[in-house]
Amino acid sequence: MKPQDIVAAKSSLWIFGYGSLVWKPDFKYRRSQVGYIQGYKRRFWHGDNFHRGNDESPGRVVTLIEDDDATTWGVAFEVSGSQLEESLKYLTVRETVRGGYVTKMVDFFPDGDDRLPVQALVYIATADNPLYLGPASPQEIGAQIAACRGNTGHNLEYLLRLAEFMRSSCPQVEDHHLFAVETAALTVVSYLLAAQ
């Protein structure tokens, strides 16, 4: 479903963020809620040659990989009225044109007891995308992240802000992949600093 079709059908919409959107949405929204989606795992398997890397040295950012047993935590933002069209226009450039992501509707479960799920739009990079880098060990991913920067900043900042979000907003969740990549990247950085 195209974002413009969603606008035509709804007066408000939830948008689920699981990467940089959790700390830097850059669009106006009515409210936000920490929570999770099911059936997907977050992985640093997508390349970024604009925001956190370049053509010669793409950074690594997260996408979602289907996995029936997995849960991914993040933030959903409710947009309504004029915010709806503005946010989707902005995200189409940020995620689809520059990032190579496609959109899907998923069930978002707000954190807390007795909260009913809501339908949310999510952006997912697929394996048939030219920027898709695929699986690698946490050590390889961490080393790549430690070395890359793009127009928005250092790839390491992206990783550290995502890890900080998880620790502060979802302290009960152990995101093994994220924290293993963080440890590997910080190890590389400490070696580089020690070598100076």
What residues act catalytically? 95
Q: How many CB atoms lie within 10 A of CB 24?
A: 11
Beta bridge partners of 106: 120
* Main-chain phi, psi angles of 10, to 5 degrees: -135, 150
Yes or no: say if 17 and 95 are a contact pair by the CB < 8 Å rule.
Answer: no
Residues 6+ apart with CB under 8 A from 16: 37, 74, 75, 76, 106, 108, 120, 121, 122
Query: Which alpha helices (DSSP H) does 76-175 contain, by range?
Result: 82-91, 138-147, 155-169
